[in-house]
Each structure stands twice: as structure tokens, then as C-alpha cells.
């Protein structure tokens, strides 16, 4: 894969944009602002990925040496400037949304995202738990961004609920990823939660978040936001969520943490599918 595409982690960027697609499907609408919102989330997510790799260069020499920057396929300076370009493109999209809709909340959300994503990569990622919460918050923020792009009271309410779901599950996954990356993070002197207090307590915290989110899933059906198809598909996601919880609770070694993180990601993708099916 071309290193300038790879460093964007397009799968993650597209997954971020899915939040906007889901909100559009729920509202059964499509418009230029919605398309711009998809692009904005894609660029902002990509920007966060690139600038994170820039600041994590030394850590990735140990944890992810195959990535474009530590492998030398992209220079550090080129990587940094490429990240800035993604931020600029995302901000332009946010401005156009607000200009076209005469609603400046989406533009403000993008500006806030620019600041948070940069500060996260520069300093906050290694802050115990705060870094995990920021990643979760930004994931959920995408749904809220979609809600305010459409800007109707019902859709804003739904987007906030979905955003909370994404926030909680993503935070759990980020904690598990920290457990997976303990070796490289220690070598770099990072102070993640598993390094400071051991891996067992963070694993329990991640499990608690997973259980909370799994318990919340049926609410969207019982509150008549989504139909019966949602309940059927989300059950598959919940099984994967709980299986991940069992895995990480039993063992916190690197391989198990990697498996638990992977299953959580698959479960979240299935949950997104459930949101789509539920809107029919």
C-alpha cells in the first residue's frame, strides 16, 4: 500500500465517517452538508492518525516498526506536514457546512476537534486514562457532529445517545490497547494506566465499561428508536463485546489483549450495521 495512504489508516478514517452515514440513514436524508460532514470526519480522523504517528515515532520503532514513519518510507517532516494538510481539509469542510446551513455549531465542533486531536497526540495520549477518554470522546463526537449538521431536535437527541455508546466502548478498547502496548510504552517512558497500576485494574475497568454499554444496547429498541432488526443484529455485537470482556479479564498478556481489542472493533462494526438495520 502507498505509505501516504497507509499512514492515514483509511479503515479507521472511513469508520469515523460511518457515524455521519448512520445519522443520515436514521434521518433518511442526504445533502451536500452531509457529504461534507463525512469528508470532514474522514480528514479529521486521518489528521489525528498522522500527527499521532509523528509524535509516537520513537514508541512505534518498538511497537509498530512497520508503519510508514518508523520504517522510513515517509520522513518525519513530510509526515508532520501531511498531518497539517488533513487538519486544513477537515476545517475547510466544517466551514462550508456552517456556511451552507447558516449553523455555526458544526464549524465550532471541527475547530474543537483540531485542538483536541493535536493536544492528544502531542501530550495527552500518555496521560493516564485522560488519553483513553479523549479517544472515546472524539469517536462519540462524530455522531454529535452529524446530529448538529442535520440540526433537528430528534436527530440531535439520537446522535447524543449513539455518541455516548461509541464513547464508552471506544474508551474500553483504548484501555485494552494500552495493556497490549505496555512493553513499548515502558521503553519510551510513557505513563499509561497499566504501567502505573498494573494491568489487572485497567482490565476490570474496561470490562465494566463493556458491560455498561452492552446493557444499554437494547434501550434503542425499547424506546422505539430502532426496530426489531436492530435487536437481532445488536445481539451478535453484544456477544462479541462480552467475549472480549471475558478474554481480557482472564489474561492481560499482549496476545490476549490484541484479540480482545480486535473483537471489540468487529463488534462495534456490527453495532453500526445494527443501527442501519434498525432504521428500516
Whether 280 shows a pLDDT value over 90: the answer reads no
> By the 8 A CB rule, do 172 and 213 touch?
yes
Kindly report which listed range (96-100, 108-112, 176-180) carries the lowest average pLDDT score. Answer: 176-180
Please state, rounded to an integer, the average pLDDT across all residues of the chain: 89
Smallest CA-to-CA distance from 40 within 118, 114, 122 is with 114
Contacts of residue 62, Cβ cutoff 8 Å, sequence gap at least 6? 183, 184, 187, 188
103, 148 contact by CB (below 8 A) = yes
Question: Cell numbers at residue 25, please?
Answer: 440513514
- 31-40, 249-258, 269-278: lowest mean pLDDT where? 269-278
Whether 31 and 146 have beta carbons less than 8 Å apart is answered as: no
**pLDDT for position 64:** 79
Nearest to 87, CA basis, from 116, 125, 124, 122: 116
pLDDT of residue 167: 93
Q: How confident is the model at residue 188 (pLDDT cuts 50, 70, 90)?
A: low
Q: What is the number of alpha carbons within 13 Å of residue 39 lying toward its C-beta?
A: 16
**What dihedral do alpha carbons 32, 138, 230, 236 form, nearest 10°?**
140
Query: Can you give the pTM of this predicted structure?
Result: 0.84
Q: Pinpoint the alpha helices (H) of the chain.
A: 3-6, 10-27, 32-55, 57-63, 76-101, 105-122, 130-150, 153-180, 182-188, 193-197, 200-216, 219-222, 228-250, 254-278
* pLDDT tens for each residue of 189-232: 677 888 888 889 999 999 999 999 999 888 878 877 788 888 99
- Looking at residue 43, its pLDDT comes to 96
Kindly report the CA angle at 167 between 193 and 44, in degrees rounded to 5?
100
| Cβ atoms of 265 and 173 closer than 8 Å | yes
Query: What pLDDT score was predicted for residue 169?
Result: 93
C-alpha to C-alpha distances, 151 to 63, 77, 220, nearest whole angstrom: 42, 39, 20
**pLDDT beyond 90 at 119:** yes
C-alpha cell of residue 31? 445533502
* CA–CA dist 135, 173 (Å, integer): 10
Instruction: Calculate the alpha carbon distances from 90 to 9, 10, 107, 216 in Å.
Output: 16, 15, 10, 32
Give percent above pLDDT 70 in the chain. 99
User: What per-residue confidence (pLDDT) applies to 279?
Assistant: 73
Work out the angle at residue 234's Cα, subtended by the Cα atoms of residues 231 and 237, and round it to the nearest 5 degrees. 160
Q: What is the pLDDT of residue 116?
A: 95
- Please say if the pLDDT value at position 129 is more than 80: yes
- pLDDT confidence bin for 16, thresholds 50/70/90: confident
> In the predicted model, what is the mean pLDDT of residues 101-129?
91
Q: How many Å apart are CA 237 and CA 205, to the nearest integer?
A: 20
Amino acid at each position: 500500500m502507498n505509505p501516504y495512504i497507509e499512514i492515514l489508516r483509511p479503515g479507521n478514517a472511513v469508520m469515523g465517517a460511518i457515524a455521519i452515514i448512520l445519522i443520515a440513514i436514521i434521518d433518511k436524508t442526504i445533502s451536500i452538508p452531509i457529504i461534507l460532514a463525512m469528508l470532514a470526519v474522514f480528514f479529521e480522523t486521518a489528521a489525528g492518525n498522522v500527527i499521532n504517528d509523528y509524535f509516537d515515532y520513537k514508541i512505534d520503532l518498538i511497537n509498530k516498526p512497520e508503519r510508514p514513519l518508523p520504517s522510513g518510507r515517509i520522513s518525519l517532516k513530510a509526515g508532520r506536514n501531511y498531518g497539517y494538510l488533513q487538519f486544513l481539509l477537515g476545517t475547510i469542510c466544517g466551514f462550508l457546512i456552517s456556511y451552507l446551513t447558516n449553523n455555526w455549531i458544526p464549524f465550532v465542533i471541527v475547530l474543537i476537534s483540531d485542538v483536541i486531536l493535536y493536544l492528544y497526540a502531542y501530550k495527552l495520549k500518555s496521560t493516564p486514562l485522560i488519553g483513553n477518554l479523549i479517544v472515546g470522546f472524539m469517536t462519540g463526537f462524530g455522531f454529535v457532529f452529524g446530529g448538529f449538521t442535520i440540526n433537528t431536535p430528534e436527530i440531535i437527541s439520537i446522535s447524543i445517545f449513539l455518541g455516548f455508546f461509541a464513547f464508552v466502548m471506544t474508551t474500553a478498547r483504548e484501555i485494552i490497547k494500552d495493556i497490549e502496548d505496555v512493553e513499548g510504552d515502558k521503553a519510551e517512558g510513557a505513563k499509561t494506566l497499566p504501567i502505573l497500576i498494573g494491568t489487572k485494574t485497567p482490565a476490570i475497568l474496561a470490562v465494566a465499561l463493556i458491560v455498561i454499554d452492552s446493557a444499554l444496547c437494547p434501550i434503542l429498541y425499547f424506546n422505539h428508536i430502532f426496530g426489531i432488526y436492530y435487536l437481532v443484529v445488536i445481539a451478535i455485537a453484544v456477544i462479541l463485546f462480552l467475549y472480549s470482556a471475558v478474554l481480557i479479564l482472564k489474561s492481560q498478556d499482549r496476545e490476549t489483549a490484541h484479540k480482545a481489542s480486535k473483537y471489540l472493533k468487529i463488534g462495534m462494526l456490527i453495532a453500526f450495521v445494527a443501527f442501519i438495520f434498525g432504521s428500516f
